[in-house]
Amino acid sequence: MCGIAALHHPQTRPDPSTGARMLAELAHRGPDDSDHRAVGSHAWLGHTRLSIVDLDGGRQPLTGPDGWALVCNGEIYNHAELRADLGEEEFRTSSDSESALVLLRRRGPAALDLLRGMWALCAAAPDGRFIAARDRFGIKPLYWAEADGVRYFGSELRAFPAEVRPAVETFPPGCCWTPEAGLVRFADPVPDPAGLPSWEGMAPEIAEKSTREVLVDSVRRHLMADVEVGVFLSGGLDSSIVAAIAAAECAEAGTRLKTFAVGTADSPDLLAARAAAEHLGTEHHEAVFDAGRAVAAIDDVVASVESFDACLMRSAVPNWFLAELAAQHVKAVLTGEGADELFAGYRYYHHEHAADLQDELARTIGALHGLNLQRCDRVTMSYGLEARVPFLDTEVVAHAMSLPEEVKALEDGVEKAHLRRAFTGWLPDDLLWRRKAQFGTGSGAQDLLTPYWRSRVSSAELAATDAPVRTEEELAYYRVFRRHLPGIRPEAVLTRFATA
């Protein structure tokens, strides 16, 4: 995990001082190391590093024997398989990111779909070739802009120079850009289900077993690290399943999993997480916040998340305190992000999209990069903490989206019954069948934040503003957003506008 910045100009060497200033704005994403490199006469690559894999040899930019160089933000979970396929003699380090470099050198951008994991990268060769790309789900952030012939790339909006910000846009997930071909899509958010079973007519137990196996395999791979990995445990179904699998893997390895929970005193999530941790035997840590701490953190949280969406802020505030706590104990955590979009965990899916459920699930999976994934990445990286999302593994998504719609329907008013049954015996029934609460609600954040801002931002102010906001609370967040990111166009970088 890290922050990356890159510059490209087809004819003139980019200004390295501009790149250095961009990289300095991303120091929080990589507190362990920083380096940069000019490549040929057309490119500059910069990297700030959070050391997770190959602690000694994985410094970036990574280079190849032919002068290719690469900066990559994220984790490539199938790097061992790629090494075996590409040939160990091609590699200079044990870094998982080097598999992306060798793959590009050997097979070009068309092979990017072979990378399994969360990643955004920029690479360049001395002969003028350049590529920028992002994983199919957009788990790792990447933005870009073009001004006066220069292409700018960065992990966060704050990295871009003031004069360039009006041109900044979200780099689309599942796409790559080269000067020759422009922007090309290499992968869709929902993988092709070809080769997967047809579940029609099969006994439910077979599908449940398959769901369990694909998730266990994903969590096992997402534990890949040369440092300790913990779990964000909200007390809800998704994070509890991840924690249960991870705890079993740790126990088999002779270690004890660390879990982390957050909420207001005696909030539902905090109590449920405590019960799950006790059942699983984890080393459990809690962060408790109140109205004073929540409001005091707003400025930092909005600046970190780089959004003013009220729903995101309500979950980002507790996540902020959770990341602060976890970073004191581990360098990477697993989360339950993505499960609701795969298994229809939100009530509106069933009330408003019963007739087109799969299409709506696919749409929301494609929008995650600018919503929950953006919040998850930014608050954790603000503390130099890597967040991993095993539900958004390519094989898990392909499997879940291959399941018939009826498998994801409400059962006696309960969502995700299929997923719950798949993990029968892994958790106590009262936790396994606990009804869903939004994180901002279950943690207690919404009860603190929404009334606070309604009492301080008037309805008259809301009516008079031309800001793209819906509520008094959101107007308060928008003002903070504007103060920290002047010049940025919300319609170019926020999912709510892009998907309207």
Catalytic positions, written as ranges: 2
Quick one: which of 384, 234, 367 has its CA closest to 309?
A: 367
Burial label for 174, CB within 10 Å (0-12, 13-18, 19+), is buried
Q: Is the peptide bond before 390 cis (omega within 30 degrees of 0)?
A: no
Contact 100, 70 (CB under 8 A): yes
Angle of CA points 231, 237, 243, to nearest 5°: 25
147 forms bridges with which residues in the sheet?
150
Q: How many residues does the chain have?
A: 500
Query: Distance (Å, rounded) from C-alpha 18 to C-alpha 148?
Result: 14
Contact 308, 268 (CB under 8 A): no
Query: Distance (Å, rounded) from C-alpha 65 to C-alpha 126?
Result: 11
Whole-Å CA distances, 317 to 142, 306, 354, 427, 442: 23, 13, 32, 28, 13
Query: Distance (Å, rounded) from C-alpha 340 to C-alpha 72?
Result: 28
Residue 179 burial (CB count, 10 A): 14
Helix and strand tally (H, E) in the chain? Answer: 21, 17
Quick one: which of 436, 488, 477, 404 has its CA closest to 201?
A: 404
Whole-Å CA distances, 333 to 183, 227, 281, 322, 387: 32, 11, 17, 11, 5
- Exposure string (b/e) for 41-70, b if CB count within 10 Å is 16 or more? ebbbbbbbbbbbbbbeebbbbbbbeeebbb
Longest dimension (CA), the chain: 67
Query: Distance (Å, rounded) from C-alpha 136 to C-alpha 119?
Result: 9
